[in-house]
Amino acid sequence: MIRRSAAAALAAVLALTLLPGAPAPAAQVAAGAPSPGAPGVGDPYWPFDGNGGIDVTHYVVRDRYDFATGVLSGTTTLTLRATQALSRFDLDLLLPVRAVSVNGAAARFDKPDGHELRITPARPVARGAVVDVVVSYAGRPAGLRYAGEDTWLADGREVVTMNQPHMAPWWFAANDHPQDKATFDISVTGPATHQVVSNGLPVSRTVSGSLATTRWVARDPMATYLAFFALGRYAVERTERGGLPSIIAVSRDLGPLDQAAALRGLRRTGEITAWLARRVGPYPFESTGGLATSLDPGFALENQTRPTYPGTSPRSALLLVHELGHQWFGDSVTLRRWRDIWLHEGFATFLEHHWTETHGGPSAQTWLRRTWAARQAARGYWRTSLVDPGAGRIFSAPVYERGAMTLQALRHRIGSRAFFRVLRTWARERRLGHGTTGQFRRLAERVAGEQLDGFFRAWLVAPRPPAQTRRNGLR
């Protein structure tokens, strides 16, 4: 993600620990008597994100949006495996719920708060059992809030479900934390005059009177915040490069000049994706592309396979490099806890500077030295721990910029050949999975053949600028 302004600080920086251990998911109890699943996975930044006791493998989302009333209605079918014997379990959903079933049998449900949907199946679910959970809902997403966010983005002509770290509960029932990825089958019904754009590849479009239903399927596991749909009047183009389909869409509600500029920018998606693949390894998904919306989210977002951009912003090649770079670092290899967000944003920001140096601009090392010098006196900038910045600072400048500086400094210390081997190995070994700061450090040490504890501590944790030394990648 690239935001136009950093998020306001909401929490103090937590303990300065370089390699914090990832706690086990909440309420992982041994096989035995059924018990309730926890209402969160244990991420301290947002304790009620996700849910204990379940692992979702597949979502089938069938939604309808009415522009006249602002009502979104639909059903989500979740195929999930119980990771403990469950007497009940939670899902994350803000919309009012009409009915719930588990394996075809009606289930009791309630909403102890606006975010949690608590489900009690007719019979307990055994540990290891795979069940289908169907949730029906209807309501107005606009104005619904969670964790201080009101993320619904719509007007009378267009709606786009894009936000980070939270978006799913506004439009489908979810286990809403990045550690639980699943495949998606998404259908959206809206005016037949409009188009639907989503993740993966389109499968069908069925027109019935004044309405049309469009189905998209994403066959690779995806974090819930990266799932999206856009419903609007779009100019859609599909091309193919090296066997990889690219689907781009530009809102027709943009002015003619802005539409033309956005199309020109998005048409570079295949070129930039190919450039990234040559540097960090094969593209991890079945399609690429992008969408330019007439709405004003204030940021671009790396929705899996199809980033979304405000208006004319796709004319910036660097923005496309950033969001497409996330397809490897953030979408394919995803954090396990939000405190490791630098593994997403620092990597994508580094790729911007690598693009610049290979397209006639200053080298990334020149940028590193200049930025290090310019930031010397910025005390708060260095006091932010990149391994635990705090919930209110996950989109702050240090996460992006110091994250990228760390990577370029590592490149200078161990050499470009070894450095890009680290990136390619990270992307290959953890494809469609997860990674932590500690795992990345150990991979870098394995490839470099040396201990790098001090290096990573200086760049990620120490509350002062790294010393200008060769060991810190600055000489």
What CA–CA distances, in Å, run from 219 to 181, 185, 199?
11, 8, 9
Q: Supply the pLDDT for residue 32.
A: 78
CATH number of the domain to which 414 belongs: 1.10.390.10
Residue 299 domain-assigned?
A: no
Asked if residues 51 and 80 have their Cβ atoms less than 8 Å apart, the reply is no
Measured over all CA atoms, what is the biggest interatomic distance in the chain, rounded to whole angstroms? 69
Tell me the DSSP string of 333-363: BEESSGGGTHHHHHHHHHHHHHHHHTTTS--
* Domain region containing 143: 33-190
Residue 13 domain-assigned?
A: no
Q: What's the mean per-residue pLDDT of the chain?
A: 93
What CA–CA distances, in Å, run from 342 to 141, 196, 248, 464?
30, 32, 28, 18
> What residues contact residue 273 under an 8 Å CB cut-off, 6+ apart?
241, 244, 246, 283, 288, 324, 327
CATH number of the domain to which 95 belongs: 2.60.40.1730
Asked if residues 289 and 271 have their Cβ atoms less than 8 Å apart, the reply is no
Q: Supply the pLDDT for residue 25.
A: 43
* Structure token digits, residue 323: 């969001």
Q: Supply the pLDDT for residue 10.
A: 32
Q: Supply the pLDDT for residue 315.
A: 80
Residue 23 domain-assigned?
A: no
Distance, in Å, from the CA atom of 227 to the CA atom of 304, rounded to the nearest integer, reads: 7
Domain end marker among 136, 163, 190: 190
Distance, in Å, from the CA atom of 232 to the CA atom of 155, rounded to the nearest integer, reads: 10
Q: Supply the pLDDT for residue 7.
A: 38
Asked if residues 300 and 347 have their Cβ atoms less than 8 Å apart, the reply is no
* Structure token digits, residue 66: 């009415």
Residue 372 domain-assigned?
A: yes
Phi then psi for residue 109, to 5 deg, are: -150, 155
Residue 264 domain-assigned?
A: no
Q: Supply the pLDDT for residue 1.
A: 85
Phi then psi for residue 455, to 5 deg, are: -60, -50
Q: How many domains does the chain have?
A: 2
Domain end marker among 190, 222, 255: 190
Residue 201 domain-assigned?
A: no
Q: Supply the pLDDT for residue 28.
A: 39
Nearest to 395 by CA among 448, 349, 353: 349
Q: Classify burial at 36, counting beta carbons within 10 Å of its beta carbon; exposed 0-12, middle 13-18, buried 19 or more.
A: middle
Q: Supply the pLDDT for residue 3.
A: 65
Phi then psi for residue 342, to 5 deg, are: -65, -25
Q: Classify burial at 360, counting beta carbons within 10 Å of its beta carbon; exposed 0-12, middle 13-18, buried 19 or more.
A: exposed
- Continuous segment of H or E residues that includes residue 257: helix 256-266
- Continuous segment of H or E residues that includes residue 280: helix 269-280
Residue 314 domain-assigned?
A: no
Domain end marker among 190, 208, 226: 190
CA 460 vs. chain centroid, Å, equals 22
Successive 10-residue mean pLDDT values, the chain, 475 residues: 50 32 39 90 97 98 98 98 98 98 98 97 98 98 96 97 98 98 98 98 98 98 98 97 96 96 96 98 98 96 97 89 98 98 98 98 98 94 97 97 98 98 98 98 98 98 96 96
Residue 258 domain-assigned?
A: no
* Structure token digits, residue 163: 């936000």
